[in-house]
A and B are shown apart, each in its own frame.
Chain A
């Protein structure tokens, strides 16, 4: 069966670690990295990438607009 798969690319230097994207994701893909960026913020990353459907929910709630989303139908 065809499955919709997604990938998010977070601009980690611009992420401010607000965590709003974590709560916007319906499939619990995102968590905060253990590392910090140059500003000292933990940044968002895909902890559970296989669950991403590319729905864009995280990207549209991100106040800093730092998430890009790709989506593909996989057979």
Chain B
């Protein structure tokens, strides 16, 4: 290693000061940490650290407020969009976002998600879809794929008995109050760059006051899936992406073409 390169003027990447030095409790390779960092980097780049309020979920990311150096409030399970609505209406000049897993957003919080979007609240919703309930031991979620093994569908999700997975992101996109809806991932350098742009756009939309922005991040729960992080990301690409394809679903209040039919 050429130590002469290591000097302040040559620094091209460092941890954003919008994150503190606490060691995150996430399993090695979990996408939660990456998404936390992207949100923090966008807040730093937009210079809105003191104007941002985050709403934490129940789930593995319940402790997000221990890592981001911004004002945050914990919501009851699934109720983050309702709490974000209150915060934004009381303080319309603030940037307000929720951070939620698929159990939080698409199971217990379905009503809050749909109604906040339908009301067109000027908030950003960051939705981490790992296909299961990570925190409580990998149970089946509404997002669990057909045939996917979880601790409560040990032989794979049987659609006849357990019903269909819910594409809540596509559902939200069809609501008139949703302004920007996209699906991203954070498993490769290029996907991380795209996801960051989407997160930035979701924050910037709050200044236009045109409605809710939702950024889904398809992610891994390698512990729950019982795989190594590298295997889990590969499994995600092979199995989650065909059902949850990354890409924009609604831009500037208009469904993108493929969603129209």
Interface residues of A, Cβ cutoff 8 Å to B? 5-7, 9, 14, 16-20, 23-24, 41, 46, 49, 54-57, 59-72, 74
Known pairs A65-B15, A65-B37, A70-B5; A24 contacts B188 (CB<8 A): yes
Complex interface: chain B residues within 8 A of A20 (CB): 29, 187, 229-230, 233
Q: List 24 A-B contacts (CB under 8 A).
A: A6-B12, A7-B1, A7-B5, A7-B6, A20-B29, A23-B230, A24-B189, A49-B1, A54-B5, A54-B10, A54-B12, A60-B13, A60-B189, A61-B192, A63-B37, A64-B24, A65-B33, A66-B15, A67-B13, A68-B13, A70-B5, A71-B10, A71-B12, A72-B10
Q: Interface residues of A: mostly helix, strand, loop or mixed?
A: mixed
CB distance from A64 to the nearest CB of B (A): 5
14 additional A-B pairs beyond A54-B5, A69-B11, beta carbons within 8 Å, are A6-B5, A16-B29, A18-B230, A19-B229, A20-B29, A20-B230, A20-B233, A61-B34, A63-B24, A63-B37, A64-B24, A68-B13, A69-B12, A74-B2
- B31: A residues at CB distance < 8 A: 63
Contacting pair B230 A19 (CB below 8 A): yes
* Size bin of chain B's contact surface: 35 or more
Residues of B within 8 A of A66 (CB): 15
| Interface positions of B (Cβ within 8 A of A) | 1-7, 10-16, 19, 23-24, 26-34, 37, 186-189, 192-193, 228-230, 233
Complex contacts, B27 vs chain A, CB 8 Å: 16
Set of chain B residues within 8 Å of A72, measured between Cβ atoms: 4-5, 10
A74 to B127, CA, bound (A): 43
A16 to B25, CA, bound (A): 10
Contact of B12 among A63, A65, A70 (CB under 8 A): A70
- Within the assembled complex, what's the spacing in Å between the Cα atoms of A56 and B12? 8
